[in-house]
Structure 1
Amino acid sequence: MQNKLLTIGPVTLYGYGLMIAIGIFFAYRLLEYRARKHQFDVKHISSLTLWGLLGGFIGAKLLYWITQFPNIISNPRILLNIGEGYVVYGGIIGGILAGLLYCKIQHLPFLKHLDLFAPSIALAQGFGRIGCLLAGCCYGAETNSWFGITFHHSDIAPNGVALVPTQIMESVFSFGVCILLLLVAKRTKKVGLVACAYLILYSAGRFIIEFFRGDIIRGEVGILSTSQFIALLIVLIASLILILQKYQNQWMGKNA
C-alpha cells in the first residue's frame, strides 16, 4: 500500500486525500439524485452538505484531541498538526450536530433530512477507509491468518508484519450498509428509520471491528476503546429515538 501516488514538483497526490475526495464526490452525487427524486430543496441540501463537512471536520479533530489529551499536555505541538489525527465518530457526531443546527435555523425537518443523508454518509465512509488502507492508518492487530495484509512502506502502520485488514473490513461493511439503507428507504415512509438504522448498523459493526484494531492511539474508556464506548451510546440513543417515534405515532393515531 502506497499513500504517495504521484509527485509533480512541489505537489504530491496522496491516496488518503484522493479517496476522501472521491468519497465526497460520489456521496454527494447520490445525495443530489435522491434529493431531486424525493423533491427536496437542493439549495438546502448543498448548504447542509457544507455545514456537515465543516462540523464533521471540527468534530473529528476535537475527538482526536480528547483521546490524545495526555500526549498534548506533554507535547502541545500536536495541536498544530491539522493534516493528521481525526476520529470518525467525532466526524459523525460533529456533522450531525451541524446539520441539526442548520435545520433549526432554517425550520427544516431534521430527521427527514438525516434519513436522506444517511446512505451517502455510509458511502463516503466506504471510500474513506480505502484511503486509510493506502495511508496505513486505522490498522489491525498482528495476525497469522491467511487474510492478513503486510505493509512495507508505511509511515504509520508496522511494516513487515501481517495485520488484520480492518480498513478493508470496514470499507466493505460501509458499502454494504449504504446498499441496505437504500433498500430500507425504498420500503418505508417512517421518518427517522433510515437514519437510526444507519447509526445502529454502523455502530454495531464498528464495535466488533474495534476488537481487531491494532493501533493504540484511540483512547480507552474502561475495558472498551473510545469508539466502542461511543458506539454503545449511539445504539442506545438511536434505539430510544425509534421507540419514541413508534409511541408518538401510536398516540397520534389514537387521537386522530
Structure 2
Amino acid sequence: MFNKITLGPITIYMYGLMIAIGFASALFLCNYRGKKRGLSEDTIFGIFLCALIGGMVGCRLLYYIVELPAIMEDPSILWDFKNGYVVYGGIIGGIVTSYVYCRIKKENFISYFDLVMPAVSMAQGFGRIGCFCAGCCYGRETHAWYGITFTHSNFAPNGVSLIPTQLISSAGDFLICGVLLWYASKNPKPGRVAAGYLVLYGVGRFLIEFLRNDYRGSIGIFSTSQIISFGIVALGIVLYFVIPKISEKK
C-alpha cells in the first residue's frame, strides 16, 4: 500500500488527501442538496467549519478519556499529537458545535442535521480509504484470499496478511450515505434521516470492531467503541421518535 505521493520537493500523504477529498465532497453535496431545500449556503459552510473544529477537539478529548489510566502513568501522551484520535469523539464534537452554531444563528438545527449527516457518512468513507493507505485501524490476521499485507506501515504489522477492515468500513460508510439519501428523498419526518445515521453507523461500527486488531481500549469483552455504539444506537432510536413529536408541537 502506498501512503504518500512525492512530486519533486512536494510530498502528499494519502491519509490527509483522502480527508480533504471527503470534506470537500461532503460540502459540495450539502450545498447541492441545501439549495433545493432553500437552506442557507453560508450556514452550511459555518456548520462545516464548526464541525471541523469541534470534531478535531472531540476526537482528542475522547481519546484522553479512554486513555486516562495510561496518561496518569505517562503524561507525555498528552503532547503526542501524531496518534490518539477517536472517531466517535469527532462525531459527538461535530454535532455539539453545529448545534451551538445553529442556536447562535437562530437557524433550525434539525433541518441542517438531516441535510449534513448523509454527507458526513460519505466523508467517513473517504477517510477510511485514507486509513487503509496509512495502515491504521487494521484488522485481525487472516489467511483468506481477501487478506491485505502491509510492507511500509507505521501502524499495522508489516508482512502479515490482515483483514482489510478499513475498506470494509469505507464500503459500509458509502452504503449508509446511499441509504440515507434514498430515505431523505421520501421526505421523512424531521430528524429521522439524522437519527437513521446514528443507528446505522452505530450498528456498523459495533460489528466491524470484532474484526479489528488495533488497540482501542476495552471494557470487559467489548471495545470502548462498541460500548459507545450502544449509546449511539439508543440515542438514534430515541431521536427517531422524539424529534418529529417536538417538531409537530412547535
Give TM-score, length-normalised by structure 1: 0.92
Partner Cα distance (1:118, 1:7) in 2: 35
Instruction: Tell me how many residue pairs correspond in the alignment.
Output: 250
Deviation at 1:237, TM superposition (A): 1.1
Unpaired runs of 5+ in structure 2?
Answer: none
Partner Cα distance (2:111, 2:23) in 1: 21
Alignment of 1:61-140 (within 5 A): 61-140=60-139
Q: Deviations over 1:151-179 (max 9, x none)?
A: 11111100111111100000000001111
After TM superposition, the structure 1 stretch with the greater mean CA deviation from structure 2, 239-248 or 43-52, is: 239-248
- CA RMSD of the aligned region, Å? 1.7
Partner Cα distance (1:101, 1:179) in 2: 28
Partner Cα distance (2:245, 2:116) in 1: 25
Which residue of 2 is the match for residue 215 of structure 1?
214
Partner Cα distance (2:239, 2:100) in 1: 18
> Is this contact kept in 1: 2:118–2:180, CA < 8 A?
yes
> Is this contact kept in 1: 2:198–2:235, CA < 8 A?
no
Deviation at 1:221, TM superposition (A): 2.2
Partner Cα distance (1:33, 1:152) in 2: 40
Which residue of 1 is the match for residue 18 of structure 2?
19
Q: 1:248 and 1:26, CA in 2 relative to 1: closer, same or farther beyond 3 A? A: closer
Q: Deviations over 1:49-101 (max 9, x none)?
A: 10011000000111122222233233322222224321111100000000111
Deviation at 1:222, TM superposition (A): 2.5
Which residue of 1 is the match for residue 195 of structure 2?
196
Unpaired runs of 5+ in structure 1?
Answer: none
Which residue of 2 is the match for residue 169 of structure 1?
168
Deviation at 1:7, TM superposition (A): 5.8
Corresponding letter in the other structure for 1:219: G
Which residue of 2 is the match for residue 180 of structure 1?
179
Corresponding letter in the other structure for 2:113: L
Q: Deviations over 1:136-161 (max 9, x none)?
A: 00000111222111111111100111
SS of residue in 1 equivalent to 2:214: coil
Partner Cα distance (2:94, 2:242) in 1: 23
> Is this contact kept in 1: 2:183–2:193, CA < 8 A?
yes
Deviation at 1:29, TM superposition (A): 0.6
Corresponding letter in the other structure for 1:6: T
Partner Cα distance (2:242, 2:31) in 1: 30
Corresponding letter in the other structure for 2:6: L
Deviation at 1:189, TM superposition (A): 3.7
Q: Deviations over 1:190-220 (max 9, x none)?
A: 100100001100110110000000002x111
- 1:53 aligned to 2:52? yes
Corresponding letter in the other structure for 2:221: I
SS of residue in 1 equivalent to 2:56: helix
Deviation at 1:227, TM superposition (A): 0.7
Q: Which of 238, 241, 248 is the matching residue for 2:236?
A: 238
Deviation at 1:249, TM superposition (A): 7.0
Corresponding letter in the other structure for 2:63: Y
Partner Cα distance (2:109, 2:6) in 1: 41
Partner Cα distance (1:7, 1:60) in 2: 31
Partner Cα distance (2:45, 2:246) in 1: 31
SS of residue in 1 equivalent to 2:209: helix
SS of residue in 2 equivalent to 1:144: coil
SS of residue in 2 equivalent to 1:211: coil
Give TM-score, length-normalised by structure 2: 0.94
Corresponding letter in the other structure for 2:224: T
